[in-house]
Structure 1
């Protein structure tokens, strides 16, 4: 009896290595739930995700209390944002990303996550993250933020954002997010305290 109890305890302490989801599994999750989105949705406290229409609506952003803008389509014809456009009341950060599966958006994961984190760590600050439609480039950066600063798995980050907004990063971005997910999880597993540390 004691031996069987001991083996049960040993089994419960064995950690199963984390496996990141496949692109197909992510797309199944992304296809589910609500399939519409507004020009802007608050997907995390004081973090708004939206499209270029909202990015051009300075009065609408002012009404939301937005103090910072992260444009994931900086320099594109439809999304020409700048400090000049928003004036002195809104801080602007531009990411010149293309919504193509071949584009490497992963270079922007950490700098964008840091910008979002610093903004949300400031009392009274609110950030609007957008691209052209607000479902691929900007969504990928918001997912990376939740993963990097809030220890969400990629699946949990997607489910969190999808509570408020339909998103669908392209396959290339999903692949890069899977790589980030895998890196973050393997890092957290190696940093877990051992019995001696407790």
Structure 2
């Protein structure tokens, strides 16, 4: 499995192996790294990091960090940056964030966002599909985006 895939222009998802590969990050012009497994920044002088300590079993943490993660991704992309979102294998936690971002930013429903994400990286498999599928957007997708507290 390749370690990094582009979901949208400037938005990448991948594994911890890719996060440790400075040449690969540079090749894809990465400026920002969203780390979902709590590992401290590998290259803190070279990239802007947002580090969240989550695990595959605790969906509440993913939900708790959702607003700041979405803002981190959006802020980087809006200013011309390139974002790499990763966890350990680039399957669940980072996949969940990518799907949530597509729903929030583009107003896609869960199935559409998951299909778009998987078109870039086939192995994406969000375990928090329950709350992701219940995320709602109506009207302006950003201002009305919400998530249930429990599933």
TM-score (norm 2): 0.85
The one of the two structures with greater contact order (alpha-carbon pairs below 8 A, sep at least 6) is 1
Q: Distance in 2 between matches of 1:38 and 1:96?
A: 24
Match of 1:45 in 2: 9
Superposition pairs of residues 49-198 of structure 1, within 5 angstroms: 49-74=13-38, 80-82=39-41, 85-100=42-57, 102-104=58-60, 105-123=62-80, 125-166=81-122, 167-170=124-127, 173-180=128-135, 183-185=136-138
CA gap of 1:177–1:186, structure 2 versus 1, over 3 A, is farther
Q: Distance in 1 between matches of 2:140 and 2:134?
A: 12
Q: Is the partner of 2:89 in helix, strand or coil? A: coil
Asked if structure 2 preserves the Cα contact closer than 8 Å seen for 1:108 and 1:141, the reply is no
Aligned residues: 140
Larger mean Cα displacement after TM superposition, 105-114 or 128-137: 105-114
Q: Distance in 1 between matches of 2:96 and 2:44?
A: 27
Q: Is the partner of 1:87 in helix, strand or coil? A: coil
Tell me by how many angstroms 1:81 deviates. Answer: 2.8
Report the structure number with the largest CA radius of gyration: 1
Q: Is the partner of 2:126 in helix, strand or coil? A: coil
Tell me by how many angstroms 1:187 deviates. Answer: 8.3
Superposition CA RMSD, Å? 1.8
User: Which is richer in helix?
Assistant: 1
TM-score (norm 1): 0.66
Q: Is the partner of 1:163 in helix, strand or coil? A: helix
